Amino acid sequence: MTWQLLLQLILILVNAVFASAEIAVLSVNDSKLEKLAGQGDKRAKRLLTLTFQPARFLATIQVGITLAGFLASAFAADNFSDRLVNWLIGKGVRIPPASLKTFSVITITLILSYFTLVLGELVPKRVAMRKSEKLALVMSGLIYFISRVFAPVVWFLTISTNAILRLLRIDPNANDDEVTEEEIRMMIDEGSERGSIHPDERDMIENVFEFNNKTAGEVMVHRMEVCILWMDEPISQWERTILESRHTIYPVCGETVDDVIGTLSIKDFFRMKERTKELVLKEAVKPAYFVPETVRTDILFRNMRVTRNYFAIVLDEYGGMSGIITMKDLIEEIVGDLGYDDKDELPEIERIDTTTWKIRGSAPLELVAKQIGVYLPVDEYETFGGFVFGLLGNIPDDDSTPELEEYGLLIKVQKVRDRRLESAIVCLIDASLNNKKTSVKGGGRQINRIE
């Protein structure tokens, strides 16, 4: 009886080998196999041969598992059922021998199934999932040899399987290994939860997927935030603007912001020994690179890289300037804020004391109202700069510093540049004076407006 138990154990182990080989080979990374094969690893080459035709490989594994299970069941029923019947009769069980025979076969099959499932299927597959690459390489020679031995049987089974699939209108040769974006995102989330992918790496990968869903209009710097060199300014003003703002490329405009003459790189500007307006326009100002605000960011990135343009003027549907976009802006959409823009370090609302604030023109008016604690017409204006210009009734000249009182506030404009409010000092006088009287002072004139 000892050799019979040993035979059953061997057949269960054979089942375990095939089951673990199936999981190990299918779980191993194809790219890693190709790399090992390229380095001359014969085991990796054999595995690539097996996985190149997965249908044949699976058929080989299934033949081995089926044969091992069939032989184990046959030997167990033949060797142990009669022994169990005789033992039950010896114990005085009064059941017809034919019924006892059926009962013993079922009992032995259930016991064998338990050991086969645990020792021949579940445990080997769990081990193979944990050490797929190592097991696959170790068993590559054995599986390759078995696949050659079973080749005729596998060929017949493959032909039969493909014929049935075609009857079901399924192409057996179709490539079903395509990985969708959603599946990759799920793998990234799982890797991040397990700690194998750093949160920053996950964010970058997510940004790559979102990159082709954005447009230049969503990423650009709005025209109100663009630092412009004007044609009617002297060259000394250009140089002062460049030194104060410290950007690398500037749009050069004529009478309006929509009249773009070209772009000026500070490298070309400061390389010139003699910097007169005529020479700068002739030698340093280059034709502008225009793009529509509807162009996708991935297409724009590719085009800018091919044409070696790192600064683009974004146009709206009417041909006017919407803003600008740089290669840095596009890269930041993937890697995040690079953090070396001086402009980004300046707070939009800076509290000086309990009743005084320094506010930038780009600050959202709703945020200003909330910080100061007064009513402001947030439905009429989006930014603090637009609110101030609306109260003034005009756009003040550059370097002018008008003052006005409104909504219980004393607003002292600090700086206007390129027809844009840079900053202002705001003092809280009396919040109860909202919508009563506006007093505007500037350039020696005073305008009183009764509301």
The domain ranges of the chain are 2-167, 181-211, 216-335, 346-450
Q: How far is 361 from 275, CA to CA, in rounded Å?
A: 32
DSSP 316-349: -TTS-EEEEEEHHHHHHHHH------HHHHS-SE
pTM value?
0.50
Distance CA 412, CA 401 (A): 7
398 CA to centre of own chain: 43
Question: And the tokens for 408?
Answer: 């219980």
Radius of gyration of the chain (CA): 39
CATH of domain 216-335: 3.10.580.10
- CB-based contact 75:4 (threshold 8 Å): yes
Q: Could you tell me the fold of the domain covering 346-450?
A: 3.30.465
Which residue is associated with the tokens 């005073």? 446
* Nearby residues of 116 by Cβ (< 8 Å), 6 or more positions away: 12, 15, 69, 72
Residue-level pLDDT, tens digit, the chain, 451 residues: 577 778 878 888 888 888 888 888 878 777 778 888 888 888 888 888 877 777 777 888 888 888 888 787 777 766 666 676 667 667 766 677 677 777 777 887 788 888 888 888 889 888 888 888 888 888 888 888 888 888 888 888 888 888 998 898 887 776 655 667 777 888 888 888 888 788 888 888 888 888 888 999 999 988 878 889 999 999 999 998 888 887 899 999 998 899 999 999 999 998 888 889 899 999 999 999 999 999 999 999 999 999 999 999 999 998 899 999 999 999 988 888 776 554 445 678 888 888 888 898 888 898 888 888 888 898 888 889 899 998 888 888 877 888 888 888 899 988 887 778 888 899 988 655 554 444 444 443 333 333 3
